[in-house]
Amino acid sequence: DTGVSQDPRHKITKRGQNVTFRCDPISEHNRLYWYRQTLGQGPEFLTYFQNEAQLEKSRLLSDRFSAERPKGSFSTLEIQRTEQGDSAMYLCASSLALVTVGGETQYFGPGTRLLVL
């Protein structure tokens, strides 16, 4: 399977615990994105990497959230001191950046569904 993979697919945790999610992008893709999706809504951008550099973070990404992409391959998203409001689907996507605006297609993984009790 050469698509985007995410692990775990489901995570249940208690409020206050830390959780970490992993995303493995399509191998030749240089950009990696994290989105969050709540029920009945479209995905919301959190952050993205070009190779190993984190180039943009959304205001949605509080200081409890941190993302890394060491060596420009897989990425991890960590949430510290989880809150019930963090319950959502966390989606990862990857793409091959092009020069022209709007010319890249993001391919999404299956997502990690987080439930904070």
Partner 1 sequence: SQELEQSPQSLIVQEGKNLTINCTSSKTLYGLYWYKQKYGEGLIFLMMLQKGGEEKSHEKITAKLDEKKQQSSLHITASQPSHAGIYLCGAPSGSSNTGKLIFGQGTTLQVKP
Site of interaction with partner 1 (CB under 8 A):
4, 6, 31, 33, 40-45, 48, 55-56, 89, 91, 93, 95, 97, 99-111, 113
The CA-based diameter of the chain, rounded to the nearest angstrom, is 44
Kindly tell me which of 21 and 33 has the beta carbon lying closer to partner 1.
33
Q: What minimum distance in Å lies between the beta carbon of 66 and partner 1?
A: 18
Cα separation, 53 vs 50, in Å, equals 5
Residue 37 CB, nearest distance to partner 1 (Å)?
9
Distance (Å, rounded) from C-alpha 35 to C-alpha 43?
A: 6
CB of 24 to partner 1, least distance (A): 13
Between residues 14 and 99, which has the closer beta carbon with respect to partner 1?
99
CA 20 – CA 65 distance, rounded (Å): 10
Q: Which is nearer to partner 1, 3 or 16 (CB)?
A: 3
Q: Which of 11, 6, 45 is nearest to 22 (CA)?
A: 6
DSSP type of residue 56? E
**CB neighbour list of residue 81: distance below 8 Å, 6 or more residues apart:** 16, 17, 18, 64
- For the bound state, the minimum distance from the C-beta of residue 22 to partner 1, rounded and expressed in Å, comes to 15
Of residues 37 and 80, the one with the C-beta less far from partner 1: 37
